[in-house]
Amino acid sequence: MGVRSAFAVMAGKLTAFTLRILGKGATSLPGVVMLKLCPNILGDLAKDIKVICVTGTNGKTTTCHAIADMLTANGYTCLSNEAGANMINGVVSCFMNAASLTGKVKRDYAVLECDEASLKHITKSFGGLDVTVVVTNIFRDQLDRYGEVLTTLELIKKGLAFIPQVKLVLNADCSLTSSLAESMPHKDVRFFGVNCAFDHNSSSGISDAVYCIKCKSKYKYHSRTFGHLGDFYCENCGYRRQAPSVAAQQIKAFNTGSADITLLLDGKQYEAQITLPGAYNIYNGLAAAAVGKVAGLDDSRIIAALKKLTTPFGRMEHIALHDKGVELILVKNPAGFNEVISFLTAHCTGEDDILFGLNDNSADGTDVSWIWDVEFEKLCGRIDEVKTENQRFFFTGRRGEDLEVRLKYAGFDTNRFVLEKDYRTLIQKLRKTGRHTYMVLSYTVMLGFRDKLGEVVELKKYAR
Ligand SMILES: [Zn+2]
């Protein structure tokens, strides 16, 4: 650690300290200051640590959380930017938080959620280090975010170009993600995937990758899980899914907060449980298991850790607003929202209310037309079967009315609709009903609404 980087760490800590005194969040600005003083600060701070970067469209936060759970359960120490501060400044700040005043970081691993566009700014400093990059999947995000899926793919490639020594962990079922293996000059690649179809009346017809990335012919599938994920192949040019070494061979049961699977680890089969809610989280658990293999953990330890995973901020977070409690669920794009719809379709009873919240700030996506790609019709069918007299659908956020219109067209009974834009008033209303409620919220609604919930109930603290 040179004088310059030690000085940068002190300046960063001083900045963070000052911000906290002022009652402001300190996830980004300290990073800005430190990078100004020492452009390679990240490389200096990370040089004795194993780095795991997680990128991709959906599941980054949950996957990071699962990886950190798995490593800490096995006695390793981790630093992690789990609050979603996933651009370069946030990553630098999180290293600073873990560093001593002299700039020493005493951790075994850094588990870093990396925004797809920021990956290259982060990996730039990691040349020569022990780095693993996990790519969860590539979906179309809100329309105005990075444009098309191929743009996202290129962004990730640029990030990988800085670290030729990288160990890659890729989703075999995503034809876009798995193509990254070929862009790397060496063969240290591990694939994870699901070797069967998801049996939860899923299959959203939406596909963000219909045509072969190499020859533009239409993909065919032996089995599909959701979106464009599955055992794909191209009849024309032969591009096909790589057999994953870490896989869900069979899905035996979906429970409310977990899934029972037959797990394949390097050719050996085990009965295992991934303790995360929703079918889509099976992938995130498998990604963590694959990282467990990279880290050299015994199979039995990987399986034990999968059973004890916890959910991160806003991902099916249970909050004791009243006896029945409420669940917070974050949605960001059509593919993720459709998986939440599948979850609700499988689990929503007449005793559950649902709150939908949508903003159009840049972090949510300013163009909200993507909600028309979400298959609310499927949920409506289920609601018709199970509804009870007092079941309500609440709407909030700057674009709450757009969601109302969308659900009206999906066939929901508008007599059960309640629009309430004031979060405090809404919380009072929800408290009064005392009913279990699923709260499906876009990013900035989640932040604002959760803050107001914090005024009336004790919440788990997350660094911001
Ligand atoms: Zn092809």
Higher pLDDT, 56 or 333: 56
Q: Which residues contact 412 (CB under 8 A, 6 or more apart)?
A: 376, 380, 383, 393
Identify the pLDDT of residue 199.
65
User: If you measure from the C-alpha of residue 153 to the centroid of ligand 1, how many angstroms do you get, rounded to a whole number?
Assistant: 17
CATH number reported for the structural domain that contains residue 158 in this entry: 3.40.1190.10
CA of 57 from ligand 1 middle (Å) equals 23
| Listed residues: CB within 5 A of ion ligand 1 | 212, 214-215, 217, 234, 236-237, 239
Q: Which of 280, 306, 332 is the last residue of a domain?
A: 306
Report how far ligand 1's centroid is from the alpha carbon of 214 (Å): 5
CA of 210 to the centre of ligand 1 (A): 11
Lowest-confidence region among 79-88, 172-181, 330-339: 79-88
**% of the chain beyond a pLDDT of 70:** 95
Q: Last residue of a domain, which of 272, 306, 340? A: 306
Measured in angstroms, how far is the CA atom of residue 216 from the centroid of ligand 1? Answer: 6
Q: What confidence score (pLDDT) does residue 206 get?
A: 63
**Residue range(s) defining the domain that contains residue 362:** 317-456
Q: Do the domain assignments include residue 98?
A: yes
Chain segment 142-166, per-residue pLDDT in tens: 655 556 888 999 999 999 999 999 9
| Residue 4: inside a domain | no
The verdict on residue 30 lying in a domain is no
Rounded distance from Cα 287 to ligand 1 centre (Å):
26
178-204 average pLDDT score: 82
Average of per-residue pLDDT across 208-228: 92
pLDDT for residue 76? 97
Centre of ligand 1 to C-alpha 249, Å, is 26
Residues 200 and 143 in one domain: yes
pLDDT, greater one: 406 or 347: 406
Same structural domain for residues 352 and 274?
A: no
CA of 233 to the centre of ligand 1 (A): 8
Quickly state the pLDDT bin for 462 (edges 50, 70, 90).
low
Rounded Cα distance, 354 and 459, in Å? 20
Claim to verify: residue 293 and residue 321 sit in the same structural domain: no
Residue 464 has pLDDT above 50, yes or no: no
CA of 213 to the centre of ligand 1 (A): 7
The pLDDT value recorded for residue 122 is 97
Distance (Å) of CA 199 to CA 167, 206, 347: 32, 17, 14
- Average pLDDT rounded to a whole number, residues 68-74: 95
201 dihedral zone (left: phi>0; alpha: psi -120 to 50; beta): left
C-alpha of residue 335 to centroid of ligand 1, in Å: 24
- The model's pLDDT over 275-328, given as tens digits with 9 standing for 90+, comes to 998 888 999 999 999 999 999 999 999 999 999 998 776 778 889 999 999 999
Q: In angstroms, how far apart are the furthest CA atoms of the chain?
A: 69
Identify whether the C-beta of residue 119 lies closer than 8 Å to the C-beta of residue 55: yes
Res 384: pLDDT: 85
3-class state of residue 253 by DSSP: strand
Give dist(CA 398, CA 54) in Å, integer: 31
What domain count does the chain have?
A: 2
Assess contact for 279 and 342: CB atoms under 8 A: yes
CA of 303 to the centre of ligand 1 (A): 36
Structure confidence by residue, pLDDT tens digits, 9-22? 999 999 999 988 88
Question: In angstroms, what is the span from residue 193 Cα to ligand 1's centroid?
Answer: 20
pTM, to two decimals: 0.83
Cα(223) to centroid of ligand 1, in Å? 18
Q: Mean pLDDT, to the nearest integer, of 428-437? A: 94
340 and 375 assigned to the same domain: yes
How many angstroms separate the alpha carbon of residue 218 from the centre of ligand 1? 8
For residue 376, is pLDDT > 80? yes
What distance in Å separates the CA atoms of residue 70 and residue 238, rounded to the nearest whole number? 36
Report how far ligand 1's centroid is from the alpha carbon of 441 (Å). Answer: 38
Find out whether 374 and 442 touch, Cβ atoms under 8 Å. no
Which of 87-101, 238-252, 301-315, 402-416 has the least mean pLDDT?
A: 301-315
347 to 224, 271, 277: CA distances (angstroms)? 21, 24, 11
End residue of a domain, out of 306, 337, 356: 306
* DSSP per position, 384-430: HHH--TT--EEEESTTHHHHHHHHHHHT--GGGEEE---HHHHHHHH
d(CA 267, CA 313): 34
Domain membership flag for residue 9: no
In a shared domain, residues 284 and 172: yes
* pLDDT-derived band at 463, boundaries 50, 70, 90: very low
d(CA 153, CA 149): 6
Question: How far does residue 161's CA lie from ligand 1's centre (Å)?
Answer: 25
Check pLDDT > 80 for residue 207: no
Phi first, then psi, for residue 112 (nearest 5°) are: -115, 120
Does residue 330 sit in the same domain as residue 302? no
User: 211 alpha carbon to ligand 1 midpoint, in Å?
Assistant: 8
Mean pLDDT of 239-248: 97
Mean pLDDT, all residues of the chain = 91
